[in-house]
Structure 1
Amino acid sequence: MVGPRRPHFVLFGSSIVEFSYGNEGWGATLAHIYARKADIFLRGYRSWNSRQAVQVLDQVFPKDEAVQPSLVIVYFGGNDSVRPQPGGLSSHVPLFEYVENMRKIAIHLKSLSEKTRIIFLTSPPVNEAQILTMLGTKGRTNEWCQKYADACVNLCREMGIKAIDLCAAFKQQHEWATTCFTDGIHLTPVGSKIVAKEILKASEPVDLRRSVELETMVGPRRPHFVLFGSSIVEYSFNQEGWGAILADIYARKADIFLRGYAGWNSRHAVEVLDQVFPKDEPVQPSLVIVYFGGNDSVSPHPRGLSSHVPLSEYVENMRKIAIHLKSLSEKTRIIFLTTPPVNEAQMLEILGVEDRTNERCQKYADACVRMCQEMGIKAINLCAAFKQQHDWSTSCFTDGIHLSAVGSKIMAKEILKVIKEAHDWKPSLHWESLPTEFA
């Protein structure tokens, strides 16, 4: 388990959950908002209905865990509410059974801990015409969605559980039918923003100060990927960020832990290695992706007030990080990301600073690559990768430093390429090689 300990929020449901990190999804929005505050665990299973969910409750939410989730957000209903087919070939679950299944889920979650908070999301409405045009099916109607949504809300009232009526919430959006769906069912960024907004409005304050001293994990066990770095990491779930891209691709395959700290340099990182990566943990990360260098490479301030770290010290700090991570487990794989280039004019215009230059970025990037070559660690030279993009300086940044969706796509592509081509990593961590949970 990666440290420091944080509350665990679990998103449990069907494709609306599984796809919630893609396309500026609501899961990515929550992960961005709760960066440095809570860990978000994605337990989404496309095409599932409440009947399938009930069958795996003990595996996904084991009652014997020492510490249980702080918040569980549950979404089932869309697949249950499709029209029944004569041969029983659809995902339809009769309304009375759906209600009883959701009741069983609620009872199980309530039994985990008196501190586990629960939010049920109802099925949202659908765009029937768009479903027919894009998917060629007539199995879903707003009449059926509304019936299942109302039944879910009534159950939650009965059991004292918070419910978000997505049918009602979506219909408050002007032109919801044409703006909220990609295919009549799954969500656009507009639809996801509604879901995230309603969740944040409904959430009770979760006690982030509560002591979490023992290993805690939602099941089933998956490989742990840790993203460790400065703001490029902390903001990686925002605006179609590279962290959200990886989490979307590795849904049902690996859990992504965000350990990003805006403003930090390699000196800060070295000071907390034992807290973020304790050596005595029984389960160690399968992959750690490390990014420091951008803040280290800023111009030094006469009175030492900047985040500047001299190049020689930066290299030694990165070496210390590498040595520590290598000591965790012989199966822990490591990728170092160098600092990317910057758009100096954009930085000056938007941020009013001129303490970063491409010349200094390149020096720190080259030094990081050399150190990785010496230590047998995989490195991604982002200076080189970004400059292969046409008009990189105007397309890759939001403010000259932090990444746009274009910049994040480059980073995610390079990371996935390194993982795929890491033939010396046994077993492979490429997403196509990992098993799909409950496949």
Structure 2
Amino acid sequence: MSTVTQQPVPESGGLAPDTAVTPTRGAGARKLPIILGVLTVLLAVVLLRSSHSGSTTFQLAVDSDFVQLPDIVVPSGPTAWVMVVVCLALTAEALRRMLARSRQPLWIPIAFAVAWMIGFLSWAAADGTILVVSLLGGAVALAIPLVFGALGGVLGERAGVVNIAIEGQLLLGAFAAAIAASTTGSPWAGLVAAAVAGALVALVLGLFAITYFVDQVIVGVVLNVLVLGLTNFMFRQVLTPNAETLNSPDRFQRLPIPILGDIPLIGPILFRQTPLVYVLYVVVALVAYALYRTRWGLRVRAVGEHPKAADTVGIKVNRTRYRTILLAGLIAGMGGAYYSLVSVSQFNREMTGGAGYIALAAVIFGKWDPIRATLAALLFGFASNLQGVLSAIGSPVPSQFMLMLPYLVTIFAVAGLVGRSRPPAADGVPYRQQ
């Protein structure tokens, strides 16, 4: 049996120093100036090779806003170069802090990301208009399944179970949601069915990984392939011949929240979404609170960090892991409902398109923290939506490059180029009670 170097379980708060949102330090602090410098040089090279004249318009409001914010019109080339200078200044500050062996505050990468994106969009949308509400609101919508999947991955791995089967949970959730919503006429019934479907996949994962000690990565990959084959077969044999009754669900419609939806800029982005997005807000808050502020969360992290110590103090390790991965499956399954109840009003074969693997990368990118994983998933959603926005305005940026962006970020995350990521100590290691 594999052995894990066990670490003491603290009596309070977190089990690992990287669970809280703290300033960047260590290996991440050393890599940050390099990453910022490379990105700044890339932006400068793009501007030198293809300078654009004209102006770029950033539209901050939509016609239905109670308060109409004015459009921001900026000269494309000069604005882009000003942002390059800002990026250079932030890179220099990160380098100074690295040489002084001081911490890198979070505002440096955040400010750099904003400045870099403003410079890039000013260049890419020259003589065009960027609809900021559509760009950011669409990013939130596209990130729905990624966030649900990432939260499921965080919970599973915090309990010590590697959940590679997120893709299968999303796909089976989309399949179940389409059938349940079609037969009942209610998208809410479809959402419940999607959650149950995700939990069923998690139950099979737990049966083999926790009870029979099968390698968790292998089980997850097999489950993904199994669900893919099963849904393809059922689509051809059941859904296609009975599309009117079994594959014609009602979609979730946009439901603006009064008052909040009228807040300029923020309202249309966050509070004029479908009910599934509002469910997502609640789930993120509950998971983050429960994982770090409740006795249940402490037990979950204990069995993922030091199961033997947890067992010693009376915590049922495998029972806790079962319950946690079932909850994780429920959450991930709800993300699958996005595809058949929000994106399109039917189920199609392989419609998740590998989103489960991107969600798993968001778990690593977010360092096994629900808030960070959510932000990572939103980043991937933003990159996906940016591709569509730039294509719509006729930007010279190749659409293939924008489609690559989430996967490039994934590679950087897995390679540790965004800082050191330490998984829970017992992640992936089955526990055999003595």
TM normalised by structure 1 equals 0.24
Higher strand share: 1
Name the one with the larger helix percent.
2
Normalised by the length of structure 2, the TM-score is 0.24
